[in-house]
């Protein structure tokens, strides 16, 4: 008999989680003004809000924590981290930061000015926020296929090279501080970018004299997809694929809370020392001295070890197969999602499910609330709330996709939890016709409003 697939780790410590009643959840979500970010975590049974900083560290990472060097300057933990990053990416210069958006803040303070243009493949919301905060523009050049959730193509996160070249042609290079390539493409569904596409973007960057920034939160997962889906890479190791990816990068921003498998952390990587030097002042102002930048020595030690673990094929296979397992259950129940399954999450197609809820009442948010009410599962809206208002017209922006993201934390839940999630979604799906109204905004911030937004139920 062929042996079934099984996890590449065993469990050494557990954390208890608690179920609740529907009545309790109705009260809690109303108190949270229908914003799932405002829920206390103890009111959540399975937390799929994010895969960011929510993973389980390994025994080796906890051991590394004990050996952290907490020196203000020149800590051995910094050099361990720097050497690991150099080994994986080939980038020589590193500035640690406390998380990904802090890396964006430091880099964009140095390179982005009012009126600039940063083309990219679905900029992540904090990236877009940091660009628009500086009165610059994030131009989305993702391939059109990414918005057809039923289409199964291997690299749905790719940049459309024609769209990118049109932007590069139409603007002087002085106005384009960087092209932003996000791997994997979170907003489009955790979809990977192919090596061929990375090379194509890099060639255009060189042709037009523009720098390439790789937003790298899930770079190891992207490398796994290149190895398993792209011709010519099956025999290459994950680390070799990563080295090839970063041979094309001028800058990298990293939210280490994802593929660094740590609870907090981030960094900037640079090919050119001069680019790093431009950022040093902002790093010291916003994050801390150059050899700790917002992280404790123990955090940098755990991150160095986490990055090594994320290069292990067995770890990545366990992770990606768990997401695929959840997808296979949704296939069984007919629940539509962004196909094929992404690296870190399932993105449920709320527009296709809640056809009786008008888009002005936020379909994906409505679905997120229904799933919470059904089973205590917390997902997150990737739709009109996240898209913010147009900075010029102040009108709501309605993206082509209204998605409910169910992000799977690394090494945290079992496949029994996946079964529970799929069954809960099936129940919501089966009663979809009876859901006819959504929510309206009662309070919001001008940028990144989804974190703190307040809503009320629309009554018909
Ligand atoms: C692609 C991408 N870039 C940047 C960030 C921001 O990172 P952080 O949450 O660590 O600030 C995230 C976080 O989810 C992300 O997914």
d(CA 33, CA 48): 19
104 CA → ligand 1 middle, Å: 9
Which range of residues forms the domain containing residue 212? 59-309
CA distances from 107 to 30, 177, 241, 268, 283 (A): 39, 10, 25, 8, 9
Identified catalytic residue from 124, 225, 233, 429: 124
197 domain-assigned: yes
Considering the domain architecture, whether residues 275 and 419 belong to the same structural domain is answered as no
d(CA 44, CA 36): 10
Residue 390: per-residue pLDDT: 86
* Count of other CB atoms within 10 angstroms of residue 1: 3
| Residue of 211, 197, 209 lying closest to 278 (CA atoms) | 211
198 CA → ligand 1 middle, Å: 20
Considering the domain architecture, whether residues 357 and 215 belong to the same structural domain is answered as no
Q: What are the tens digits of pLDDT across the range 2-33?
A: 999 999 999 999 999 999 999 999 999 999 99
d(CA 165, CA 171): 10
Residue 345, both tokens: 């999450």
Considering the domain architecture, whether residues 336 and 216 belong to the same structural domain is answered as no
208 domain-assigned: yes
Our answer to whether residue 72 is catalytic in this structure is: yes
CATH number at residue 441: 3.90.1150.10
Residue 187: per-residue pLDDT: 86
12 domain-assigned: no
**Domain final position from 287, 309, 331:** 309
Residue 327, both tokens: 């997808």
229 domain-assigned: yes
Identified catalytic residue from 72, 169, 170, 173: 72
**Residue-wise DSSP of 47-92:** E-S-SSS-SPPPHHHHHHHHT----SSS-HHHHHHHHHHHHHH---
Q: What are the tens digits of pLDDT across the range 220-274?
A: 999 999 999 999 999 999 999 999 999 999 999 999 999 999 999 999 999 999 9
Q: What are the tens digits of pLDDT across the range 301-338?
A: 999 999 999 999 999 999 999 999 999 999 999 999 99
Residue 391: per-residue pLDDT: 81
129 domain-assigned: yes
Considering the domain architecture, whether residues 302 and 231 belong to the same structural domain is answered as yes
Contact 238, 56 (CB under 8 A): no
Considering the domain architecture, whether residues 181 and 289 belong to the same structural domain is answered as yes
13 domain-assigned: no
Count of alpha carbons within 13 angstroms of residue 45, beta-carbon side: 19
- Rounded to the nearest 10 degrees, what angle do helices 219-229 and 238-246 cross at? 110
Q: Percent of the chain beyond pLDDT 90?
A: 95
Residue 341, both tokens: 């399954």
Q: Percent of the chain beyond pLDDT 70?
A: 100
442 domain-assigned: yes
Considering the domain architecture, whether residues 343 and 203 belong to the same structural domain is answered as no
Q: SS3 of 370, please?
A: helix
103 CA → ligand 1 middle, Å: 10
Considering the domain architecture, whether residues 206 and 284 belong to the same structural domain is answered as yes
Identified catalytic residue from 51, 69, 215, 275: 215
- Residues with CB under 6 Å of ligand 1 are 52, 99-101, 124, 126-127, 182, 186, 215, 217, 255, 257, 266
Considering the domain architecture, whether residues 369 and 243 belong to the same structural domain is answered as no
Q: What are the tens digits of pLDDT across the range 173-230?
A: 999 999 999 999 998 889 999 999 999 999 999 999 999 999 999 999 999 999 999 9
Our answer to whether residue 217 is catalytic in this structure is: yes
Q: SS3 of 250, please?
A: coil
| Region 341-356 average pLDDT | 96
177 CA → ligand 1 middle, Å: 20
Our answer to whether residue 170 is catalytic in this structure is: no
CATH number at residue 258: 3.40.640.10
Residue 42: per-residue pLDDT: 97
Contact 364, 350 (CB under 8 A): yes
Q: How many domains does the chain have?
A: 2
**Domain final position from 286, 309, 332:** 309
| Residue nearest atom 7 of ligand 1, based on CA coordinates | 100
Considering the domain architecture, whether residues 27 and 108 belong to the same structural domain is answered as no
d(CA 84, CA 309): 11
Using pLDDT thresholds of 50, 70 and 90, give the confidence band for residue 401: confident
Best residue among 48, 49, 52 to mutate for probing ligand 1's pocket (most ligand atoms within 8 Å of CB) is 52
Our answer to whether residue 215 is catalytic in this structure is: yes
Considering the domain architecture, whether residues 109 and 239 belong to the same structural domain is answered as yes
Residue 446: per-residue pLDDT: 86
Q: What are the tens digits of pLDDT across the range 47-80?
A: 999 999 999 999 999 999 999 999 999 999 999 9
| Residue of 159, 190, 195 lying closest to 339 (CA atoms) | 190
174 domain-assigned: yes
Using pLDDT thresholds of 50, 70 and 90, give the confidence band for residue 125: confident
Considering the domain architecture, whether residues 333 and 259 belong to the same structural domain is answered as no
| Region 337-351 average pLDDT | 95
Using pLDDT thresholds of 50, 70 and 90, give the confidence band for residue 447: confident
**Domain final position from 309, 334, 364:** 309
Mean pLDDT estimate for the chain:
97
Considering the domain architecture, whether residues 30 and 65 belong to the same structural domain is answered as no
């Amino acid at each position: 008999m062929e042996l079934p697939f099984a996890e590449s780790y065993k469990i050494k410590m557990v954390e208890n989680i608690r179920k609740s009643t529907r009545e309790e959840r109705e009260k809690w979500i109303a108190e949270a003004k229908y914003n799932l970010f405002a829920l206390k975590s103890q009111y959540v049974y399975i937390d799929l809000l994010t895969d960011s900083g929510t993973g389980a560290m390994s025994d080796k990472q906890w051991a590394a924590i004990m050996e952290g060097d907490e020196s203000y300057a020149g800590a051995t933990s910094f050099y361990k981290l720097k050497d690991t990053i150099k080994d994986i990416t080939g980038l020589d210069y590193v500035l640690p930061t406390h998380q990904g958006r802090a890396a964006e803040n430091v880099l964009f303070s140095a390179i982005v000015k009012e009126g600039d243009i940063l083309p990219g493949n679905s900029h992540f919301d904090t990236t877009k926020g940091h660009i628009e905060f500086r009165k610059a523009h994030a131009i989305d050049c993702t391939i059109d296929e990414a918005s057809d959730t039923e289409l199964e193509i291997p690299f749905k996160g790719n940049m459309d090279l024609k769209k990118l070249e049109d932007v590069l042609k139409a603007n002087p290079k002085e106005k384009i501080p960087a092209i932003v390539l996000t791997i994997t493409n979170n907003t489009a569904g955790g979809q990977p970018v192919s090596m061929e596409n990375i090379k194509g973007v890099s060639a255009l960057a060189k042709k037009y004299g523009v720098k390439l920034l790789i937003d790298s939160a899930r770079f190891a997962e992207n490398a796994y997809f290149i190895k398993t889906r792209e011709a010519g890479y099956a025999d290459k190791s994950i680390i070799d694929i990563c080295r090839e990816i970063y041979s094309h990068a001028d800058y990298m921003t990293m939210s280490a809370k994802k593929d660094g498998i740590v609870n907090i952390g981030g960094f900037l990587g640079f090919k050119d020392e001069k680019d790093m030097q431009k950022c040093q002042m902002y790093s010291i102002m916003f994050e801390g001295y150059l050899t700790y930048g917002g992280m404790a020595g123990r955090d940098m030690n755990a991150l160095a070890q986490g990055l090594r673990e994320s290069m292990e094929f067995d770890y990545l296979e366990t992770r990606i197969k768990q997401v695929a397992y959840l997808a296979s259950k949704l296939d069984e129940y007919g629940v539509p999602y962004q196909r094929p399954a992404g690296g870190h999450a399932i993105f449920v197609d709320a527009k296709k499910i809640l056809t009786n809820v008008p888009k002005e009442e936020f379909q994906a948010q409505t679905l997120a609330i229904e799933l919470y009410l059904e089973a205590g599962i917390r997902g997150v809206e990737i739709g009109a709330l996240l898209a913010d208002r147009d900075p010029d017209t102040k009108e709501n922006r309605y993206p082509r996709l209204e998605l409910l993201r169910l992000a799977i934390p690394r090494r945290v839940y079992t496949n029994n939890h996946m079964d529970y999630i799929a069954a809960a979604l099936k129940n919501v799906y089966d009663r979809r016709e009876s859901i006819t109204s959504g929510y309206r905004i009662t309070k919001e911030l001008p940028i990144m409003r989804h974190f703190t937004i307040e809503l009320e139920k629309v009554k018909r």
